[in-house]
Amino acid sequence: MKKTTIITLALAAFFPFTFPQVLAQKEKDKKPASAEGSAHSHFTKIPATVEEIWKEIQKQQGKLAKVVAAKDLGEAHDHAFAIRDLVKALPGKSSAENKPKAEDASKTITKLAADIDKSGAAGAQKSTEANVKKLDAAIAALKVNLTGK
């Protein structure tokens, strides 16, 4: 076999494995959409301070309530996961005495966000509403535990 034939065959064999990886990396490198939009990216920008995190949690709770009330259950998981991500950031920004409380609540809220995702994906309006109420109660309890308010 000629050298050019061997090189051509090697490149032909190599190309299908590298090209999809290059495209996948380009997609990965794209900046994710914010939680504000309707894109299904679960990227949540975490504010710098605890106070700003609580404001964003309240904002996301309002959005979650709106989409569930509008029976737009396909969007519910976006807001539930944003809340989950925001709550997960609290232990790292809390005092040493509040850190364990924030971590425990984070586990509960993570489970509730997953429950909202499942019930919303199933189109189960009443279950989603019940899960949102549980999430709201868990957030209220966490806030009282961390801030006393």
**For the chain (length 149 residues), average pLDDT per consecutive 10?**
76 62 51 41 83 95 96 93 95 90 94 96 96 97 87
| Residues 34 and 77 sit within 8 Å (Cβ to Cβ) | no
pTM: 0.71
Picking from 135, 142, 138, 103, the residue whose alpha carbon sits closest to that of residue 120 is 135
Q: Which residues contact 108 (CB under 8 A, 6 or more apart)?
A: 138
| Per-residue confidence (pLDDT) for residue 14, from 0 to 100 | 64
**50-147: CATH class:** mainly alpha
What is the reported pLDDT for 25? 53
Domain boundaries, the chain: 1-30, 50-147
- Gap between the Cα atoms of 64 and 100, Å rounded: 27
